[in-house]
Structures are given as C-alpha cells and as structure tokens.
A and B are shown apart, each in its own frame.
Chain A
C-alpha cells in the first residue's frame, strides 16, 4: 500500500457514538493510534470493543462522531478504508469446505493481486501450515484455524490490521504463536488495533492501552503511564510461584504441543 510520510495517526476516532435500539453502546469514544504501533482496546464483554472494530472496518455505521483510517473517513470513503485494512474477527472467518491454500488463494484473488498461488504458498510456509495446506479447513485445530485466519488478513499487506479478540479460545501454545505474529507485524510497520479481555495480552503486546468501560475510554496510555494512575507500589516479600501456564508449557514442551494440535483432528 502507499505509505505516506505524514505524521497523521493511522486511526483517529472522535466522539464516536452508537446505539442499538435503547442500548447506548458507545457514548463518545476518542482515541488516536500512531502508525506502526500496537494499540490494545481493553474491556469486559459487552463493553463495545467489537462495535468500534465493526465501525472502523466499515461494517457498521456510527450514529455520531468521526473516524478515519489511514487518512480516509469511514463514512464517506469506505472503499479506500477497505483497501487499507484487514479484519480478523472473533470467530475464525475461514471457509471450512475449502482447503487452507484455497482460502488464501481466494483472498488474494479478491484483492486482485498477481500470482495468488505463490502468495498462498509463502503464507502457508510462514504460518507452519504447508503440510496441512491441501487439507480441508474442517479438519484443522482451533490454533491452525486462527493462524490461517490471520494469514488471510495479511494478504495484500494492509496498512492497518484489526484483530478482534484474536486469542480467545486458543490454548496457551497457539496463543503465544499469535502473539509472535502480532509482534512481527508491528515490526514491519503495520498498525495493529487489538481488542482483548486478557490483561496480560495487552501488557505483553501493546504500545498503548485504552480501557473501554460503559461506552467511554476511561484510561489511555502506555503501560507505565497507566501504572502511575495507581498509588506507588509497596514492597512486599512474596514467594515466586510459577503460574499454571509456566507449568503447563514446561511439562508438555513446545514441540509436543504443536504435534498434538496437528494430529488430534487428522
């Protein structure tokens, strides 16, 4: 895509409002996302995270306020917005009956790119799906589906990627894989807007974190800035206990997990 040198934000949201009948989901949301950064939108279920993502990806119209993505207004220039973005929703939006490779080829065709077959093969290799590439997606595990889903989102190198709860329902190993992909994306200069209800996910990945609560952004800053909102830390001596995640990963070993995932559905 065309990368502009202007310092304007990759995403700008101003006073966004949206209601569904009597339910006032967004009550004036404001935030900016800097180009190439990872921005986490944190909130509990029903806080309105998905509504924001749907408005920014031109699937839903806002009642009031303005939003621009990559410099284009979602309300007046939706086609240019769609050229700039890709969306990975909460549920892996992959075609179950097609093979993994066919899913990728389809998206490359719809983005009107030359040599869709080569693009598909490259992504299969990058996402560890080469072996499964010719199998129907209905035989994939949850982690494989999510990897394919994200791979489909990267076709055409969109400037902005929306990831709506990308790790919900994944096992710890698949979750780490997704985190790795998100970090790589950002390293390549892609802007990532991530929604999550996992605090550690925001902590691990995000350059900035905004907390959405009852339709408004109640806090927005870097992790360090958010930590300053609380009283200074007091020093206590606590025995360091391994988390269950540490134990799980230590016991099964990373390679074993991946093999189990690959085999259990085939």
Chain B
C-alpha cells in the first residue's frame, strides 16, 4: 500500500506546552482504507498528536498543516472534526452506563424531529449499527449490563452513526480479555469494507503486526519512520528499535551502590479488577528488593504496575488479592495502610494531586499527615514541633516556598512532589515504593529527586521505582523488572539492560511466559 491516495496528511506539526516542545515537526500520512498504527513509548507524543488532529487543541495553537480528505483542515473543536468525519475513541470509554445502548449511540446526535426523539427510528438504526459491529444485544439494554469489550463495540457503533471516515482508536484492547480483543481486532481490519480508515494507537506489537498495514513510530515528539508491514524487514524488533533508539545522556547523578540483604519480597501476588472481578490485573507477580537497592518496574500503560503497588500497600486497589509479603525474611501483613506503614513501607502515589496531597492544606500539615502520631501526645498535636520538622524537610528537600504555612496547591509540581516525599520520609520507612516520582516536573527538580533517591538507597532503604520513562529507569536502577499484562516478564540486572531488551520484555504479553 502506498500513500498515493492519502486521506490524511499532517505536516510539520509543532506543539509547545509552556515552552516544552511536545511535538516537533511531526509528519503523518494515512492512506484511504488502511489500518495505520502509531507506536511510541509513554509520553512520546501520540496522544498529543491525536488531540491536534481532532481539534482538542484547536487550529492556531499548533503550527504545521493538516490536510484531510483533500482539503486543509482547521478544526476549532471536537465537534468540527467530527463533522468532517474524524472520531476518536479514547481508552476511557465515554458512555453513560445508565442509558441504553441506543441512547448512547445517538447521544448528541439524536434521531429527532423538532426536538422530539423518534424512538422507533432510534431503535431501528441502532440495531443496524449493532449488526455492523457484530454485537448481538438489544438496543434497549442499558450499557452497565455489558462487559468492557461490548462497550467498546458500542463506542464504535456510536462513531459509525456519525458517518465516520477516519476512526482513531486509542489503546482499544487495553482493558479487554483475549476473546474480546480478537473480535475487536477483526472488526478493525474489516473497517475498510465500510469505507472507514483506522488509526490504531497500541502498545501491543503483536496486535500491530496482526492488523496494521503501516506503522508510524514516534519518539520524543518526532516522527522516526513509517514502516510498511508488508515488507520483510518489518519486524517487531525494528519497531522496538525505532521506539527506544535514543542516546542516553548523563542526566543522572553518579551513584555507587552498596547492596545488602533482602529487605522486601512479594510472592505470587495476584489481584483482580475491583469491578470486572473476573479480570486478572496482576498475575502471580513475584519480586524482591534488597537493602540499598533501587529496583525499577518497567511496563507500558495499563501493564498493572500501579495496581500491583496499590494492592500491596494496604489493599488500596483490587479484589480477590492473594499472595505473600515478606520484610527482612519474615512474612508480614499489609492489608491496611496502617499495617503497611507500621511495617515500614511507604507508597508515594502516582497522581500526587488526586491521591497524595491535601492541596488546600498547608505544607506542614501535609508533611505531618502520615506520621501525625509522632507529633502528638494524648491526641494533642505539638504544632511547634510539627512546624520545626516540616521546616527541616523544607531545607533538606529544598522545597521552594515563602513559608511552610503556604497552601500546597500554590507550589509547582516539583515542589509538590518533594512535599509528598517528605510526608512519607517522616514515617521513617525501610521500603519506599515510588510510583512515577518525576512525572510532570521539570528537569532541575527531577535531578534533585534522583539525587534524593540515591541518598535514601545509601541509607539502606529498599527502593521500588515505578516509571514510564525507560531512560530514567536505566539511568537510576540497579535492576529492572518488566511487567506485561500484569505478569512479571523479566528481571534484568543493570549490566544487561538495553532499551531494546526491556521493550521486548514489556511488549511480550503473558502468554509468552506459559
């Protein structure tokens, strides 16, 4: 397949966020009727590119040109891109679970005359669309009664109701089981019969190889190459190489590791999804960390790293959790946050604003939140001591603020992260689980956090470092576990780490283990 009859040409797209370049002269060409996959690491710029295309970032907020269906496109919002025939289906489905399938399909696009809905027409057209996507359900069924796989099909039917000519699917199989995935992939490959071109964003290279006609790889906001999958040289290895092939620069502090005895071990850890209870999200995971060791957890979005961490730490996520946790060789219970903290475990959450901080509280009240009992006698807080401790952390962590009484919401991302770290360090943990500790913070603050992590390891603490940025893991960790589809697929010591090898293990899927 060639680009002769292109439905979409995006040329030299540049998009900046507050001086940070997210997209740097990205070029993407999609042929009519093909399935075009876009691959790249987390944060490579795939989602940003799709938001530019669909008008989430309106014309004028980026530079470069978009040519769609032979004409220049200047979308001002999602509505205008949808009117042109471009529909995005996001990873988080946007259906109203309490309304029926038919109501969802025509939401905002109702089959109505003068504001009065024609229910017969709605039901009739809905069943035609359901047949097209191969979903055998009554259009009157409410969406919450369907599994995620079927909901995904309703989303596609909804897109088809809008006369879509270019359908963008963002990680469509991330939440699906194998059977539903297969059905969905078949449906996507058959889309051209309905005159629909598909862009597929996926982390799963097996899927990409199965249904994509061409693949465009994006890395660090740049187009690396577009690979025609019918060529013999189009292997998974080539895609991986394009995804990760960057030079490592010395953005990481030099660190001499002294590794001691095993501090922390999790054995045979299995977790099910809290709502979709049949789905295994963490699958018999086993890992260990030694004193002074920094152990990385690499995995693509949706691999189950956060779910693993949050289920170990006080069972904050998931149901039907099973497995064993050991600290210093002794089995411990971590089934409540209190127990986990009492056993010297700290978990620095991924989303600091949502889970980590009281943004309307002061810096000092946030820092003392976990270990409040340390500052209290008979339930009464010694606020002076609390203040002094918080101020010590302000100095040692270099939290930039006019006052420790300042509200945390006013701090920059990097300083907020230092507050979260301080709050957990006050509890005096031996094991620190850091979930994306450098997400959304600038380079200078990142370096400070890296240095701090090294210092903590030097104090003999065991560090679990979860990150979506491979270079960061490679630069910081003594050992890296790879996670794919909830299973631990690799345990790679520093000496053997290469980005290609990690990416191979991260995309292999758990079937390969069996």
**A and B found bound together:** no
